[in-house]
Amino acid sequence: MKNAYRKIGIVIFSWPEAGNVLLTDLIDTLGSLAARLYIVVWGKGSPLFESNNKAVEVFEVYHAGQTNLFTKSINYAYTQLKISFKLLKLSSFVDLWLFVMGGEGLIIPMLAAKMRGKLVLICPVGSGVDSLKAQQDSLAGVLALLRNMNYRLADGIILNSKRLIEELGLQKYQRKTLIAHAHFIHFDKFKVQKPLSERDNLVGYVGRLSQEKGILNFLEAIPLVIETRDDVRFLIAGDGQLRARAETYIQQANLSSKVKFLGWVPHDELPSYLNEMKLLVSPSYTEAGPYTVFEAMACDTPVLSTPVGQVPDAITDGKTGFILENNSPECIAKNIIRALNHPNLAEITGHAHEFVEREVSHEAAVNLFKKVLQSLAR
C-alpha cells in the first residue's frame, strides 16, 4: 500500500478466557495492510496471547490486579510503566501505534509514544470506564479523567460507527474521528446450521453479566413473558460480576425449569447455541458493537436490541430485526412477544443475513482500515 503506514504497533488488553477474538481479528485485518505487526498485550494469566504468524511479534506485560484501592492504583501505574518501556524499545520499528481495548486510560504509554514522535490512534472498543462505574469501582473516576486526556493527545479516534460520536460524548473530537472496525464475521463458523422454522421458542442472552449490559432487566422480563407465552424457554450464556446475583434471581423466582444458565461459552461453541435460538436479546445500555448481534444475524437468528453502538446501522425495526424503545423489563417482555409473534421472521433474517455479508465481512473490515491508513498518510 503506497505511502501508507506499513509497520503498526497495537497495545491491547488481553482476555484469554474470551479467546482474544478482537485481537485475532485485528491481526487478520491489519495483516492484510501492514508489513509487520508489533503486539503489546497486557493482562492477567499466562499465556496472554500467542501467534504463529511470522509477520507478528508479541510482547507480553503481566498486570497484577488487586481489590485494595491503594495496591490497585500502584499496580496499574506500574503496568503502565512496563508498557511504556516496551513502546520506547519498539518505537524505532513502528510507524504508528493503535491503542485498542483497555488503552483508553494508558496515559503514560500514550505520552511515551508521543515523545518518540509517533502517530497514535485510540480505538475505544468497549468501555472500561462504564464497566468500572457499573461495578461502583473507585477507580472509575480516575480512569475517566485519563481517558479524556488520551482523547486529547491522540492523533485520531477510531470508532465503529459515526453514531458513537454522540453516544460516547466525543463531539469536540469529531474532526479527528475515523470510522473503521477490525471485527468481521467468520462465515465458515457463524452460519445457518438449523433453519429457523425447526427451532423451539428459545430466547437467548449472550454476553458479559454486568450492569451496563442490562442482564438484570432481561431476567426481570422473563416472568412477564411467561405470563403470556408459557411455551417460551430462555438461555443465558455469559459470566461476570453479576453471575451470582443472576443465578440467585433465577432460583428465587422459580425459573429454573424455564431458564438454562450456561455460564461462559467459548467463542467457537457459540454458533451452535445461536442456531438453537428463535430470538437473541441484547438489552445493553451502551455498546461499541455489539458483535454478538452480527454473529446472530449470520446464523439467521432474529435480534431484539436497544439502539446502541452499531445496532441502528444494522437493524431497522421489522426489516432486519427488532428495536427496543428502552430496556425496562416491561419493554423487553412486550417486544420479545412481538418478535416471536411476527409473521415474517424468515424474511427478516434474510435481510439481516444480507447486511452482515455485505458490511461485516473480512473484505469490508480491510477496506475501512485501508481508507483510514491512506487518509493518515496524506
Q: Per CATH, is 196-359 categorized as 3.40.50.2000?
A: yes
Omega before 47 within 30 of 0, i.e. cis: yes
Burial 68-97 (b: 16+ CB within 10 A, else e): eeeebeeebeebbebbbebbeebbeebbbb
10 Å Cβ neighbour count for 268?
11
Cα dihedral 67, 70, 75, 81, rounded to 10, equals 150
Cell triple for residue 45? 494469566
Cell triple for residue 105? 486510560
User: Beta strand 259-263 with 156-159: parallel, antiparallel or unpaired?
Assistant: unpaired
Omega before 290 within 30 of 0, i.e. cis: yes
pLDDT of residue 129: 53
Check if the beta carbon of residue 104 is closer than 8 Å to that of residue 143.
yes
pLDDT of residue 1: 45
Residue type, 131: S
Q: Supply φ then ψ for residue 262, to 5 degrees.
A: -90, -25
90-143 residue pLDDT tens: 999 999 999 998 888 899 999 999 999 999 999 987 555 555 555 556 566 778
pLDDT of residue 126: 58
3-state secondary structure at position 269: helix
pLDDT along the chain (378 residues), means of 10: 76 79 92 94 85 92 82 91 97 94 92 95 71 58 86 94 87 94 94 97 95 94 97 96 94 95 93 98 87 96 94 95 97 98 96 96 96 89
Please tell me the pTM assigned to this model: 0.90
3-state secondary structure at position 261: strand
Residue 50 class from Cβ within 10 Å (0-12 exposed, 13-18 middle, 19+ buried)?
A: exposed
304-343 residue pLDDT tens: 999 998 899 999 999 999 999 999 999 999 999 999 999 9
Q: Where in the chain is the domain with CATH 3.40.50.2000?
A: 7-184+361-377, 196-359
Cβ neighbors of 290 (< 8 A, separation 6 or more) are 207, 282, 284, 305, 308, 309, 310, 311
pLDDT of residue 130: 58
Question: Of 368, 377, 378, which Cα lies nearest the Cα of 183?
Answer: 368
Positive/negative CA dihedral, 304, 309, 312, 313: negative
Write out the CATH class of domain 7-184+361-377. alpha beta
3-state secondary structure at position 159: strand
Cα dihedral 43, 46, 51, 57, rounded to 10, equals 60
Give the separation between CA 148 and CA 305, rounded to whole angstroms.
29
pLDDT of residue 64: 87
What is the rounded average pLDDT for all residues in the chain? 91
